[in-house]
A and B are shown apart, each in its own frame.
Chain A
Amino acid sequence: MNETRRGFLKALGLTTVGTGLGIPLLRALRPGSGTVLAQVSGPAETAPAAVPGRQWAMVVDVEKCLRDDVRAAVIEACDREHNIPRIPDPKQEVKWVWSDEYGDIFADQINAHTPAAAREAPVLVMCNHCTDPPCIRVCPTGATWKREKDGIVMMDMHRCIGCRYCMAACPFGSRSFNWRDPRPYVEHDENGKPLSDFPTRMKGVVEKCTFCAERIDEGGEPACVEALRQVPGAEGALVFGDVNDPESEVSRILSEHLVMERRPTLGTGPNVYYLVPDALPALAAAPSAGVDGNHPVSERGEVAP
């Protein structure tokens, strides 16, 4: 009797300790969760341990990006910069930044009365560089990780084993897999060279938008943002900056406007924000998009077979 009683108490104690340990353990299993808590738990200056580093963010001005040429310039710049292959089969496409329908991207935020034109309005989408990214949580090799210094969700194409778990985990469909060798589908110049020095990928790895980390490391800005400087009237269509810096343009926009982010209820904390026009009719009135997602047709060079 005594024995079983003691055993029971011991078990009870162990269970309590186990539960007590278990919850923080589970939390610890989620990388980056600390950052979320820190952000939620009040002003950063009161918690010295939680002084946030840099967190790059992008604000997409949906209204300005309704113009076909603006979106085309963005996608074109990205494609060229990163030697993104143009694979005809939509099932095997590689997309870093592309445009999709408003109704699909913000499916939670439309209703039965949203005009069809608004539902079908094109919106630019890319990797959200989430504050608590589920893709990183699941990656078995650390091939994708969040840079501590500036919050970019990076991809190490040298380490990726191509298990595609991150694609299953990403709630935004931002990740593409190289189902085949992309080289033959990368745009080449007349010498048969890809347009950029950016390494093409090999088959069997996952890739996605990196906010042009390699340019940022050299003090530059993302290629898409830079490209828009050449497009008249596109100022502010994409604004890139440090969301943790209260002085930045991004912070200013976020504090002055109501912005949307994709699927906020999932708690991933996207860092791509959408500045939506005040009135929906503006969207509805916009010329309907002739862009079906990836790679707008423009006067670009031939694609090698």
Chain B
Amino acid sequence: MIQNVLHGGRRYWGLLAFWGVLILIGGLAYSHQFAVGLQVTGMSRDVSWGLYIAQFTFMVGVAASAVMVVLPYYLHDHKAFGKTVILGEFLAVSSVLVCMLFIFVDMGQPRRVMNVVLHPQFHSLMFWDFMSLSGYLLLNLVIGFLAIEAERKGTPPPRWVRPFIYLSIPWAVSIHTVTAFLYSGLSARPFWMTAILAPRFLASAFAAGPSLLIVLALLVRRFGGFDVGARAIRSLGTIVTYAMAVNVFFVLVESFTAIYSGIPHDEEAFRYLFMGLDGHAALRPWTWVGDALAVVSLTGLLIPKIRHQERWLVLLCGGVFASLWIEKGLALVVTGFIPSPLGIVTEYAPTAPEIAITLGVYALGGLVLTALYKLVLNVREKTQLA
């Protein structure tokens, strides 16, 4: 079955080559980073996590969002998602892979990565994150492959995967909750130390992930000739709408608490984001663009007439995705370090090698996703012919 990934046209191989080039550039940048250390990044003593960890956080959300198609399909028998489920699961597989790679490239001593397992510390959320991500990867890999294999054979998937499918639902919630706990348990960082972080993460994940899935499904329909069905797209659009609404609400709730209470530590991070602090305002334009995108996209989504037109839906989903990427993949992590515990504002900007490595990691995810989707398409093509 897996040899199916070798069957593809010029466009398919072109896309793989495109990913390949990006991976190569990223790989070279990483070998440089591996040789001389994380000094090649823009991170510093004060802002000790940057682009890598931020992308990790964002992509955990995308990975978790597979639950938004798995749950309605398996628990509520929402038939419209029949053809979307496998796309969601394979999106989860490649996203988790990307997450793990982002953690890996962020490590100062990557050769010691197994220390997390060799000397497990149950009080460290990092340990639990490691466990939950590996478990989730395994779950989705097994479920996805068995589903596609069964489809190819024209038989139902083996009965023993059923419990694993059910398990994957709470597991998806858990990966993003644990990732939120990674941050929200730190008394040193008031910007993160909020109980709403986990719900906020989940809401933004369930908006960003399905947005991406809509775009991917439409791409697959356009270029792969495989239609998941208008009803599925419409259902996904509804999910994005509600999740985004909840997310915006959560952000407002959080901002209110921090700003209205006026506790300097809590307020400063928000002031940095929206206005700048001590003359530093690198994230200000991003914040405003992100929030504007969020408001515009949400408004558009809330109007059914607009949302139900696929042209508009794609645009709005792009807007939602971009605004959430700015919120989580850019602002969230860095702002936690601003100002530092000693009240100093050190700004952070990723360097060229850092961006190259980041793109390389994404490209690797893109490659895996392309190959997995191609697998699905080839199997579908054959079963439709038969």
Residues of A with Cβ closer than 8 Å to B? 29-31, 90-93, 95, 100, 103-105, 107, 134, 137-143, 159-165, 167-173, 176-181, 202-206, 263, 266-268
Contact = CB atoms under 8 A, between A and B. Distances in A.
Most buried by A among B43, B110, B187: B187
Q: State the majority secondary structure of interface residues on B.
A: loop
B44 A91 contact: yes
Given A140-B130, A161-B112, A171-B187, A92 B45 contact: yes
B343 A107 contact: yes
A66 B206 CA distance: 55
B342 A168 contact: no
A104 B45 contact: no
Given A142-B121, A161-B108, A134 B186 contact: yes
A200 to B, nearest CB: 14
B188 A171 contact: yes
A204 B343 contact: no
29 contacts: A91-B46, A92-B45, A105-B342, A107-B343, A134-B187, A138-B186, A140-B115, A140-B121, A140-B124, A141-B115, A142-B119, A160-B112, A161-B116, A165-B126, A168-B48, A168-B186, A168-B189, A168-B336, A171-B187, A173-B341, A177-B38, A179-B44, A180-B36, A203-B36, A203-B37, A205-B108, A206-B108, A263-B341, A266-B188
B342 A159 contact: no
A162 B45 contact: no
Nearest to A138: B124
A92 B41 CA distance: 11
A167 B108 CA distance: 13
Nearest to A30: B123
Interface in B346-360: 346
A162 B115 CA distance: 11
A100 B342 contact: yes
Interface string B94-110: 00000000010011111
A266 B107 contact: no
B145 interface: no
A168 B188 CA distance: 7
Given A138-B186, A140-B126, A203-B108, A177 B48 contact: yes
Interface string B180-219: 0010011111000000000000000000000000000000
B340 interface: yes
Contacts of A168: 48-49, 186, 188-189, 336-337
B48 A167 contact: yes
A165 B124 contact: yes
Contacts of B344: 104
Nearest to B116: A140
A167 B188 CA distance: 9
B277 to A, nearest CB: 14
Contacts of A30: 123
Interface of B: 36-39, 41, 43-46, 48-49, 103, 106-110, 112-113, 115-116, 118-127, 130, 182, 185-189, 336-337, 340-344, 346
8 closest A-B pairs by CB:
A162-B108, A204-B108, A91-B44, A171-B188, A203-B37, A140-B126, A180-B39, A141-B115
A93 B124 CA distance: 27
B325 to A, nearest CB: 21
B189 to A, nearest CB: 6
A100 B344 CA distance: 11
A159 B46 contact: no
Contacts of A263: 341
Contact of B119 (A134, A141, A169): A141
B107 A171 contact: no
Contacts of A31: 123
Contacts of B45: 90-93, 95, 167, 173, 176-177
A70 B21 CA distance: 57
Contacts of A169: 186, 188
B48 to A, nearest CB: 4
A163 B106 contact: yes
Contacts of A159: 112, 115, 119
Contacts of B336: 168
A93 B344 CA distance: 15
Contacts of A139: 121, 124, 126
B366 to A, nearest CB: 26
Most buried by B among A29, A143, A163, A169: A163
